[in-house]
């Protein structure tokens, strides 16, 4: 295949080869062969490996950003920042590995005198789940792609990794894969620690999810694709966990006092965040809910102005552009009223910004209005009163994030709204928008279905490592046979729970 430049709709050199089922099997076998040695590397050696990837990423940053920009139509400077972020992410995980807290060490010492029966010594640590298959996203061609957070957290956990590259950016994927493979080689690790596959159609991805040596899957993309792979994994003779991150409209609720005092700023800020990455972001705020009144009108005018001034910009792929156009038609058919449109498209894959409006009753009557339209489109919902605003929150499906804009006078309503949002999202934001996302210990990029397939985990942040870990308990072990972190003298000095304390 050749990459496509979405700005010109023309192919870009060079050719890239596709793998087939034989390559899936070879990569899975290599990942399995490498697993025992890689998952038992010392924490220091593993941290150094992650830092080496970061160093190589830094060295390749300009080349990577230039190629990614050609392939996805986003500005080069933005992609350089994304590449820098990817390097930082590997360094953050190196720190997590060195500190060792992710091992969640627990020791229940032997109680030989306990009645009616003695207790044997139990020691628990988390260890890597096995070889992992990762489906990279299309919309962040570095930080959610081959050298993205899924790969960083899986390698940090001690899992071996096979990435199914997204065909939207084959050259950028290739550069990232080389960076990681160089670091594997420089670290003296088995080559099966990391592989990347590229294929056409669904066959390669399906074979990967069904391969008996694969022990977990992560995916970022459409609900249809994510659920197809999820179902496939559950139908295996030995079902495996699949962590999909699929769809979210990240609703913003503007409470009456905030709307009255800051309506224009909130409307403008929402528009600005909605347009980031041409609206092709999982955290795009897509639905803004306010309560009818003077403040709402001010907010509405600011938002209309912002959207009206937005030029049409290149979207990621012909498929995503086509699905955006279908999404707009679907909103219109579902009764949404178009109240603003941005500049006209100049090229075939340009996405034109759109703003739609419905009232609360219309929104509640038609669930299609709450579906994600991936691209620069947003929906304004005018609730009649606070009770209808709460009803709208209750009608929403699972989300990655939700926002409340509030002033002190809004606290009683915020206290009623919050439990509804907690039940439906992984992250609740006050007086800001959900994009951008921090990569930190307390950040969550997850949420109830259909935002993800497993609301107990996050795909971004330091706790994303937990997706690739499982607990093992060692009972009655001689000290010399125990994993180093669990030995009596605690040679690594990692904090451990002893008898739950
Ligand atoms: P996608 O079509 O779901 O594809 C994602 C990856 O999964 C690709 O590598 C694709 O391989 C593979 N795949 C999809 N369905 C598969 C199946 N049934 N069997 C095997 N492999 C499968 O997502 P996309 O191309 O990135 O974008 C399409 C839509 O996804 C967007 O319009 C948007 O709605 C959504 N999206 C959401 C997010 C988010 O963060 N929530 C991010 C990006 C996209 P092939 O390309 O080889 O088929």
Q: How far does Cα 401 stand from its chain's mean position? A: 12
Please list, residue by residue across 330-352, b when 16 or more beta carbons sit within 10 angstroms of its beta carbon and e when fewer do: ebeebebeebbbbeebeeebbbb
Cα(3) to centroid(ligand 1), Å: 17
Q: From CA 38, how far away is CA 24, in angstroms rounded?
A: 20
End-to-end CA distance of the chain: give it in Å, rounded. Answer: 57
Annotate 157-204 with DSSP letters as a single string. Answer: HT--EEEE--TT-HHHHHHHHHHHHHHHHHTT--GGGEEEE--SSSHH
In the set 282, 341, 372, 388, the catalytic residue is 282
Best substitution site from 199, 222, 435 to test ligand 1's pocket, by max atoms within 8 Å of Cβ? 222
Instruction: For residue 65, report the distance from its CA to the centre of ligand 1, in Å.
Output: 22
pLDDT at 436 over 90: no
Q: Are 401 and 250 in contact (CB under 8 A)?
A: yes
Q: What is the pLDDT of residues 400-431, one digit of tens each?
A: 999 999 999 999 999 999 999 999 999 999 99
d(CA 267, CA 340): 13
- Answer for the pair 192, 198: CB distance below 8 angstroms, yes or no: no
Confidence band of 435 (pLDDT split at 50, 70, 90): confident
Q: Say what the alpha-carbon torsion angle 65, 67, 72, 78 is, to the nearest 10 degrees.
A: 10
Ligand 1 centroid–CA 484 distance in Å is 41
Angle at 39 between CA 217 and CA 48, to 5 degrees: 105
51 is catalytic: no
Active site residue 362: no
Rounded CA gap, 324 and 315, in Å?
9
> How many helical (H) and strand (E) elements, i.e. helices and strands, does the chain have?
14, 20
Contact 140, 65 (CB under 8 A): no
pLDDT tens track for 374-386: 999 999 999 999 9
What spacing in Å lies between the alpha carbon of 186 and ligand 1's midpoint? 33
CB 129 within 8 A of CB 468: yes
pLDDT tens digit sequence for 241-276 = 999 999 999 999 999 999 999 999 999 999 999 999
**Complete domains list, the chain, with CATH:** 18-101+128-246+452-474 (3.40.605.10), 252-430 (3.40.309.10)
Q: Which strand (E) or helix (H) includes residue 422?
A: helix 411-424
Catalytic-labelled residue, pool 51, 71, 245, 341:
245
């Amino acid at each position: 295949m050749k990459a496509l430049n979405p700005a010109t709709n023309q192919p870009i050199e060079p050719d890239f080869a596709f793998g087939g089922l034989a390559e899936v099997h070879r990569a899975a076998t290599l990942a399995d062969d490498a697993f025992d040695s890689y998952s038992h590397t010392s924490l220091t050696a593993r941290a150094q490996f992650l830092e080496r990837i970061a160093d190589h990423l830094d060295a390749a940053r300009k080349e990577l950003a230039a190629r990614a920009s050609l392939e996805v139509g986003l500005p080069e400077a933005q992609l350089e920042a994304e590449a820098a972020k990817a390097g930082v992410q590997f360094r953050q995980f190196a720190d997590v590995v060195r500190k060792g807290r992710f091992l969640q060490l627990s020791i229940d010492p032997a109680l030989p005198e306990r009645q009616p029966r003695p207790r044997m010594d139990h020691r628990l640590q988390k260890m890597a789940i096995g070889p992992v298959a990762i489906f990279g996203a299309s919309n962040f061609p570095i930080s959610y792609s081959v050298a993205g957070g899924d790969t960083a957290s899986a390698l940090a956990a001690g899992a071996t990794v096979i990435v199914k590259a997204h065909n939207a950016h084959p050259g950028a994927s290739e550069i990232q894969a080389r960076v990681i493979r160089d670091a594997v080689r420089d670290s003296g690790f088995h080559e099966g620690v990391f592989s990347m596959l590229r294929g056409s159609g669904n066959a390669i991805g399906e074979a990967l999810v069904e391969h008996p040596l694969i022990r977990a899957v992560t995916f970022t993309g459409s609900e249809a694709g994510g659920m197809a792979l999820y179902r496939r994994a559950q139908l295996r003779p030995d079902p495996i966990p699949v962590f999909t991150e699929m769809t979210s409209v990240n609703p913003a609720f503007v409470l009456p006092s905030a709307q009255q005092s800051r309506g224009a700023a909130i409307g403008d800020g929402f528009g600005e965040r909605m347009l980031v990455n041409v609206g092709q972001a999982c955290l795009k705020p897509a639905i803004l809910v306010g309560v009818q009144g003077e403040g709402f009108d001010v907010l509405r005018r600011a938002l209309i102005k912002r959207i009206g001034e937005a030029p049409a910009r290149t979207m990621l792929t012909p498929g995503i552009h086509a699905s955006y156009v279908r999404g707009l038609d679907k909103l219109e058919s579902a009764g949404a009223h178009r109240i603003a449109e941005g500049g006209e498209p100049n090229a075939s894959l340009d996405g034109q910004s759109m703003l739609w409006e419905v009232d609360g009753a219309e929104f509640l009557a038609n669930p299609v209005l709450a579906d994600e339209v991936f691209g620069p489109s947003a929906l304004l919902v005018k609730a009649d009163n606070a009770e209808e605003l709460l009803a709208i929150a209750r009608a929403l499906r699972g989300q990655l994030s939700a926002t409340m804009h509030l002033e002190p006078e809004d606290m009683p309503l915020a206290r009623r709204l919050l439990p509804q949002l907690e039940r439906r999202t992984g992250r609740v934001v006050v007086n800001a928008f959900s994009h951008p996302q921090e990569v930190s210990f307390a950040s969550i990029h997850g949420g109830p279905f259909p935002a993800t397939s497993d609301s107990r985990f996050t795909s971004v942040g330091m706790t994303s490592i937990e997706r690739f870990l499982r607990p093992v308990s060692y009972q009655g072990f001689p000290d010399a046979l125990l994993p180093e972190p669990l030995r009596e003298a605690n040679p690594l000095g990692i904090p451990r729970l002893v008898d739950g304390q």
